[in-house]
Homo-oligomer: A and B are copies of this chain.
Amino acid sequence: MSLLVIGTVAFDAIETPFGKTDKIVGGAATYASLAAAYFCDKVKIVAVVGDDFPKSEIEDLNNHYIDTEGLQIKEGEKSFFWAGKYHNDMNSRDTLVTDLNVLADFDPIIPDSYQDCEFLMLGNLTPQVQQTVINRLHKRPKLIVMDTMNFWMNIALDDLLATLKMIDVLTINDEEARQLSGEYSLVKAAQKILTMGPKYLIIKKGEHGALLFGEGKIFSAPALPLEEVFDPTGAGDTFAGGFIGYMAKVGTVNFNNMKNAIIYGSALASFCVEKFGTEKLRNLKPEEIAERVQQFVSLSKFEIL
């Protein structure tokens, strides 16, 4: 089934203990759509870039069967740019530059050819823009997944709460779940957040895996223990993209399918962090993904007689 991904398509400059990059292509919609495209051949992007964004990069997205009709190119303007430096533990980072550029007044225009989308991924953007996308779709998608961050809880909480009422699945990390709910216990936090609108909540815990709450059930997904995390940038977006891409592939929305979707999303995220930026994500073979998923199976399987 077709999938609409909204989010940033941008330039990143990344520094980790293993090296640094010049401006490379990044952004939530880039990571999420590249991940989703491994499962779904009808991924459509809504995003905005400046005329500094290379045509070859857009063609590369198209080569991954990602539809870029909804990618606006603003003449005479510059693409969103973020620069950051990770600390030695790779769990924290300093933002060095955030140039909003074209993102400052982004109006998400939905091409007519996108109106049939049954799955919608709202990548991390202002809650107002996320809401606008939902409102501009003539038919409500079968599944709406929303990513957000603490920044919007701090400066746009009312918009965020209004948007939460319109979605199905929220993906945030453990600290954000605690901030949004005011509860330290993640079980209590989830109970509270599930009264705010979403029917499902995914709490991302990085190297500790992820928790899925919904239908009165909890699923705990492991993270693959990695020898080295090379660059964590985009791991959360890749996870979300893999998650909704898998859901669009299977088509039926229920807790069991979401469990597998989380495993596939986690598998793609575990590839993503192995190289800088989107490099690893652009060149995976289906058998590599299948093998990685089997690692998740053997990692967490036990049999109580």
Residues of A within 8 A of B (CB): 88-90, 184-188, 205, 207-209, 211, 217-223, 225-229, 256, 259-260, 263, 293-294, 297-300, 302-304
Report, nearest first, the 9 A-B pairs whose CB atoms are least far apart: A220-B222, A208-B208, A259-B302, A187-B227, A187-B225, A220-B299, A220-B300, A300-B300, A185-B227
Selected from B89, B184, B211, B227, the residue in CB contact (under 8 A) with A88 is: B184
CA A298 to CA B225, docked complex, whole Å: 22
- Once A89-B184, A208-B208 are accepted as A-B contacts, the answer to whether A299 and B218 lie under 8 Å apart by CB is yes
A211 to B222, CA, bound (A): 10
Closest partner residue, chain B, to A208 (CB atom): B208
Given A184-B88, A259-B302, are A218 and B208 neighbors across the interface (CB < 8 Å)? no
Q: Please, which residue of chain B has its CB at the minimum distance from the CB of A17?
A: B184
| Contact A297–B304 (Cβ < 8 Å) | yes
Say yes or no: A225-B186 contact (C-beta < 8 A), given A208-B208, A208-B209, A220-B209: yes
A302 to B260, CA, bound (A): 7
Q: Give every chain B residue within 8 A of A220 (Cβ-Cβ).
A: 209, 222-223, 225, 299-300
> Smallest Cβ distance from A157 to chain B, in angstroms?
23
Excluding A88-B184, A90-B184, A220-B299, 14 further A-B contacts by CB distance (< 8 Å) are: A185-B226, A185-B228, A186-B207, A209-B209, A209-B220, A218-B299, A220-B223, A221-B302, A222-B222, A256-B303, A259-B302, A260-B303, A260-B304, A294-B304
